[in-house]
Structure formats: structure tokens, C-alpha cells
Amino acid sequence: MVRIAQFSADAFIGAAIALVAEDGPTAASIPAIARRVGAPTGSLYHRFPSKAAVLAAAWAEVHGDFTRAMVPPLAEGRAGAAALTLVQWARAKPRLARFLLLNDFALLVDGAPVPDEWRAAIARQEEALDTAFRALLGGEVPAAAAARLRFLVFDAPIAALRPHLLAQGPVPEFVDDLVAGLHDARPQLGQVA
């Protein structure tokens, strides 16, 4: 008789995301992830060879969701819409936003080896974002102009979101106004395209 797995890889990934989002990377130990699912620790090891593997799988899932949201407005050359998409994504998916936007992948896995499968998935997502951002730039631009636009699309919205994500509270509507205002001021800041 074939034994059906009681605890799925997705359940462990979801638990890792929740633990990191709630209490930071150190909260996502192997025993804590298993306990969150209600599974024995060995069940997690049947699906993932290490803590770094389950966290990399979680990162790939969340970063993939973020990438799917961000690529269309970037590729269409809509910087302001991309920045607002980031804010709206964080508002709609606060747990995912806390996991992704408040952490750094290298620190999350703490230098441990990451299985090739997850490393490749994350690299493909990064390349999709980079390609879409290059489309937003519309060609060769000075490095300073590209850095300024990257700040307006990614860094400024994340900075505006950060206190609300850290407080685990809702993202207020004024964050949209703040981010939109930065893009309204782009001509004075030296518009890229």
C-alpha cells in the first residue's frame, strides 16, 4: 500500500514565510517550522534537505509573486504605476511583503548552501525584473539617472512601507499619495525617459 504524504512542501513553505514575517529570520528554525505545521521534524527533512532549502523555496515563492506583479508596469515603461504596484502588492499581501521587503536573501539563508533548483528560480526572477527595468529605462542612460529611477520605483516605496510592515499594521492610503507625489516630481528630479 502506498503511503500518502500527510504534510506537503507547501505547508512547510507557508510556515516558514509566516514565522519570518511575524518574528524575523531567527524564528524560522527547523523545529519551529515543523511545529507550525503540526508535523514531526523528520517530515520537513523528507521534503527539504536543510533550513536554507526551505527558506530558499519560500523566497522563490514570494519573490516570484512579487516579480509577476512588478514586471508588467516596468516592461510597459510606467515607472509611477510600478511604484504604486509595489505599494498595492504590499497592502494586499502584508505577510509576503514583511517576508520579502524586510529581509535580505543572503542573510535569510545565513550563507548556507542553497539547492540549485531554488538558486536558479530566484536568478530567473531577478533577470525578469532586471529586463523589465531596462525596458523602463528605454535604452542607455547615465548610471546616476538609472540609480535615481531605481530609487523612485523600488527604494522609496519600500522605505515608505517599512514602518507599517514592521508594526504589522495596515498600509495607510497616504503611502500611495506619497509615492505618487515622488513620481509627479520626476521632471524636477531629472526624468530618465
Nearest partner of 100 among 32, 26, 11, 25, judged by Cα: 25
Instruction: Kindly state whether residue 23 falls inside one of the protein's structural domains.
Output: no
Instruction: Kindly state whether residue 25 falls inside one of the protein's structural domains.
Output: no
Mean pLDDT per 10-residue interval, the chain, length 193 residues: 69 97 95 95 91 97 98 96 98 98 94 93 97 93 92 96 96 96 66 47
The total of structural domains in the chain comes to 1
Instruction: Kindly state whether residue 159 falls inside one of the protein's structural domains.
Output: yes
pLDDT at 5: 59
Nearest partner of 29 among 37, 38, 19, judged by Cα: 19
Instruction: Kindly state whether residue 64 falls inside one of the protein's structural domains.
Output: yes
CA-to-CA separations, 13 to 48, 55, 89, in angstroms, rounded: 10, 7, 20
Please give the residue range of the domain that contains residue 125. Answer: 52-189
Instruction: Kindly state whether residue 2 falls inside one of the protein's structural domains.
Output: no
Instruction: Kindly state whether residue 1 falls inside one of the protein's structural domains.
Output: no
pLDDT at 2: 43
